[in-house]
């Protein structure tokens, strides 16, 4: 029953069964009204192929948002497509900063590219010197899934070397905020135009659009040319193009920054509640999820499911084990019911320990 929990291609949606209170999937609620309205207004256009005007509008919106030129923007059918394109760089040795999102590993291994896992431990501070010198491709999440750590942009810059590409997964960057100054996206490198830097971003997490698949990649034009050789036509549909324009435009960025402030408040309350209940919150979470360490976490996870809660085991992430659970940040009232339930389950387990194998 638990073997699937260790599979690299397992994601939180596998746990978020209908009827369960969802702490497993780190996607914010549904799309905000302005995005829903933009999408609804284009339903009548679905008989036609996606237009060049829609594509250019989305590209220009993204370029302006990050201070880039239009030829530095590649639209993606979800951030995961960006990882699928990486083998086209023909790297000889990839280094993955771990623990991290599993899709880059899956794509690179499928292409036969040798991989070194650069595994850090709690609190997962990035040490660029730990990356092998001969790695010509380095992939790092910022903030990283599932640890919720946010690496300093200066540390990301130190990963750069002659002959090396640095890929930064910023799928959750639009919902980060500096706790001291309130500045949004404090460690993002999306605005930095380096010939060896590739940034992959998504709008589906913050805007509740996981079912739509929409993201983008920022890189030098010659890098984008290498990534797109042989790419199929119309990689994004009309609704995905519409969503990108709405989410990355001024209204969307203002919404994301407001969500980042609300999220920070909910996350602080969540950390306080978990800590008060004697649960260990790992690291210093800065994203829309956090990681806790719970003895016999798989038993706790199953009992939570039996009581109506879905949580994400972190057992299939490199560098973690089956005593780690990832929790999406939710509102205070919903979080309180989860914490109370975990507390009750832990008391039950303590009073009736698992029998030792013979």
Question: How far is the C-alpha of 168 from the C-alpha of 202, rounded, in Å?
Answer: 12
Of 240, 231, 248, 301, nearest to 1 by C-alpha is: 301
Assess whether the previous peptide bond of 98 is cis (omega < 30° from 0).
Answer: no
pLDDT for the residue numbered 277: 96
Q: Is the confidence at residue 16, as pLDDT, over 90?
A: no
Measured at the CA of 271, the angle between CA 33 and CA 276, to 5 degrees, comes to 140
Strands 215-218 and 73-76: antiparallel
pLDDT for the residue numbered 353: 65
Both tokens assigned to 10: 């397992």
- pLDDT band at 133; cut points 50, 70, 90: very high
pLDDT for the residue numbered 358: 44
CA distances from 331 to 11, 23, 153 (A): 22, 11, 29
Question: How far is the C-alpha of 220 from the C-alpha of 104, rounded, in Å?
Answer: 20
Q: pTM for the whole thing?
A: 0.93
Question: How far is the C-alpha of 239 from the C-alpha of 343, rounded, in Å?
Answer: 43
* Maximum distance among all Cα pairs of the chain, rounded to whole angstroms: 68
pLDDT for the residue numbered 34: 97
pLDDT, mean of residues 138-157 = 97
Both tokens assigned to 293: 């360490």
pLDDT for the residue numbered 5: 61
pLDDT over 70 percentage in the chain: 94
Question: How far is the C-alpha of 257 from the C-alpha of 263, rounded, in Å?
Answer: 10
pLDDT for the residue numbered 11: 53
Both tokens assigned to 1: 């029953």
Instruction: List the single range of 126-140, 286-300, 340-354 with lowest mean pLDDT.
Output: 340-354
- What is the Cβ-side half-sphere exposure of residue 83, based on CA atoms within 13 angstroms? 26
Of 254, 143, 131, nearest to 189 by C-alpha is: 143
Instruction: Count CB neighbours of 343 within 10 A.
Output: 15
Question: How far is the C-alpha of 62 from the C-alpha of 74, rounded, in Å?
Answer: 10
- pLDDT band at 1; cut points 50, 70, 90: very low
Tell me if 43 sits within 8 A of 195, measured CB to CB: no
pLDDT for the residue numbered 225: 97
Q: Is the confidence at residue 14, as pLDDT, over 70?
A: no
Exposure of 10 by Cβ count < 10 A (0-12 exposed, 13-18 middle, 19+ buried)?
A: middle
pLDDT for the residue numbered 28: 74
- pLDDT band at 12; cut points 50, 70, 90: very low
Mean pLDDT of the chain: 93
The total number of residues written for the chain in this structure: 358
Question: How far is the C-alpha of 321 from the C-alpha of 143, rounded, in Å?
Answer: 20
């Amino acid at each position: 029953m638990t073997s699937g929990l260790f599979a690299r291609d397992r994601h939180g949606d596998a746990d978020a069964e209908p009827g369960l209170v969802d702490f497993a999937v780190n996607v914010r609620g549904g799309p905000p009204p302005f995005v829903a309205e933009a999408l609804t207004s284009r339903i009548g256009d679905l008989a036609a192929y996606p237009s060049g005007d829609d594509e250019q509008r989305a590209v220009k919106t993204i370029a302006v948002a990050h201070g880039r030129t239009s030829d530095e923007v590649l639209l993606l059918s979800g951030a995961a497509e960006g990882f699928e394109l990486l083998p086209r760089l023909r790297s000889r040795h990839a280094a993955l900063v771990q623990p991290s999102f599993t899709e880059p590993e899956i794509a690179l291994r499928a292409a036969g590219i040798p991989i070194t896992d650069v595994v850090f431990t709690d609190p997962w501070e990035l040490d660029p010197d730990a990356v092998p010198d001969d790695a010509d491709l380095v992939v790092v999440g910022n903030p990283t899934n599932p640890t919720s750590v946010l690496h300093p942009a200066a540390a990301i810059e130190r990963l750069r070397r002659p002959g090396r590409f640095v890929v930064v997964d910023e799928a959750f960057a639009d919902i980060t905020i500096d706790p001291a100054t309130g500045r949004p996206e404090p460690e993002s490198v999306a605005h930095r135009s380096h010939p060896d830097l590739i940034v992959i971003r998504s709008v589906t997490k913050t805007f509740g659009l996981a079912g739509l698949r929409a993201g983008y990649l920022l890189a030098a034009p010659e890098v984008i040319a290498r990534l797109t050789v042989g790419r199929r036509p119309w990689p994004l549909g009309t609704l995905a193009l519409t969503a990108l324009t709405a989410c990355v435009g001024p209204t969307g960025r203002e919404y994301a920054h407001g969500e980042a402030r609300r999220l920070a408040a909910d996350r602080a309350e969540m950390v306080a509640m978990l800590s008060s209940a004697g649960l260990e919150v790992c690291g210093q979470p800065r994203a829309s999820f956090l990681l806790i360490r719970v003895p016999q976490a798989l038993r706790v996870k199953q009992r939570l499911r039996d009581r109506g809660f879905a949580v994400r085991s972190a057992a299939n992430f490199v560098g973690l084990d089956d005593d780690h659970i990832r929790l999406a940040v939710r509102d205070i009232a919903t979080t309180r019911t989860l914490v109370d339930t975990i507390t009750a389950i832990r008391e039950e387990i303590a009073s009736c320990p698992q029998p030792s194998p013979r």
